Chain A
Amino acid sequence: MSTAMNFGTKNFQPRPPDKGSFPLDHFGECKSFKEKFMKCLRDNNFENALCRNESKEYLECRMERQLMAQEPLEKLGFGDLIDGKAEAKNKF
């Protein structure tokens, strides 16, 4: 990154994350959710679209245990998943 001959090229500007940094999960409280998510990824050939439920659950776990700021799930891009859940609930 900092080698010579990079003078003319544009430098990469890292941007801070929109919602800041995740506090570290020192006690492994959400580790089981993470394992579920990783297993889902491995089973589905690392396709993210098929494992969004598990990622949503992991983030919900974090929010419950104060490891993440509370945010409505739509703001995290899970709007369609919430509707799906609500629909499933209404059906039954």
Chain B
Amino acid sequence: MGGLWHPEWRRLAFCSWRWSHPESPARAAERVQPFLRPGRNGTGRAERGLTRLGTWERPGLARDPAVQPPRRPKSTNPFTRAQEEDWRRRNKTVLTYVAAAAVGMLGASYAAVPFYRLYCQITGLGGSAVAGHASDQIENMVPVKDRIIKVTFNADVHASLQWNFRPQQTEIYVVPGETALAFYKAKNPSDKPIIGISTYNVVPFEAGQYFNKIQCFCFEEQRLNPQEEVDMPVFFYIDPEFAEDPRMVNVDLITLSYTFFEAKEGHKLSLPGYK
């Protein structure tokens, strides 16, 4: 069995299955061949080498494990053999380049994440690649006077929050490009200070992207002392591009809905019915 378990095979460690699946003698012969015949002179030699292998004769030539056996050229014509070697070499080069490009792409896709973060930090865009929400836009925007939109207001409170929260106007008629002010009112009827935090919703969803709030009272904790009542303003505008969006042609009603939740900060929730 010595002939098959050539030391050179240990270098092919990645094909470890070979240890359990010996190759057919013909292929094995191809690999072992160069060690059996130092010169390449034609077919006669090949047959002799195969015969030697067939008898399990150990090749007596020195085997240098460090040298990778060159692939045996397919053609026997010495003129085309050089050409084949050349092609083989070129193929290998191309393969190397392609593999390097693939690995480079993979690396680039991983590197893109911190680079994009850096880019956002430098340009100050802060994740929203859409420019034009800046105050320069408000300064320069022209109201589209022929497109009147009704904005209705809705107020909700989470069940555990004891506030009375309601809008002070049911609706308001605005045009895109015009800033508008609206008020909500919140009252804390209990005798404990309560901290609330709110979020909002705009219906229809697609119109929500044109609904810009300049300033409001959402996403920040608002503290109401006992028996206190405050006005909460919302200062907003509808982007003038709303009038040019074909999907918004039939949209005449936008509903702005605020919901207040309780911000629990070491504060005891009083359960209903448990007084």
List residues of A whose CB falls within 8 A of some B CB: 1, 9-10, 12-22, 24-26, 28, 31, 34, 37-38, 41, 45-49, 52, 55, 58-59, 68, 71, 74-79
Contact = CB atoms under 8 A, between A and B. Distances in A.
Given A22-B233, A26-B228, A49 B175 contact: yes
Interface stretch (B11-19, B108-116, B217-225): B217-225
Given A38-B169, A59-B235, A71-B135, 16 more contacts: A13-B208, A14-B200, A14-B201, A14-B218, A17-B214, A17-B215, A18-B135, A20-B215, A37-B183, A48-B178, A48-B181, A49-B175, A52-B179, A75-B135, A77-B141, A77-B179
**Nearest 6 CB-CB pairs, A to B?**
A77-B179, A55-B181, A21-B220, A17-B213, A75-B135, A48-B180
Contact of A79 (B139, B181, B216, B233): B139
Interface of B: 133, 135, 138-139, 141, 143, 145, 168-175, 178-181, 183, 199-202, 205, 208, 212-220, 222-225, 228, 230-233, 235, 237
A86 B200 CA distance: 38
B183 A34 contact: yes
Contacts of A10: 205
Contact of B219 (A21, A34, A52, A78): A21
B230 A25 contact: yes
6 contacts: A16-B218, A18-B133, A22-B216, A22-B217, A34-B233, A78-B179
B218 A46 contact: no
B218 A21 contact: yes
A78 B237 CA distance: 12
Given A48-B178, A76-B235, A15 B213 contact: yes
A73 B220 CA distance: 25
Contact of A77 (B145, B225, B237): B237
Contacts of A76: 138, 179, 214, 235
A25 B173 CA distance: 26
Contacts of A26: 225, 228, 230
Which of B212, B217, B225, B231: most chain A Cβ within 10 A? B231
Which of A19, A26, A46: most chain B Cβ within 10 A? A46
Given A18-B214, A77-B237, A12 B202 contact: yes
Contacts of A25: 230-231
A34 B171 CA distance: 16
A13 B201 CA distance: 8
A3 B275 CA distance: 32
A47 B149 CA distance: 10
A33 to B, nearest CB: 10
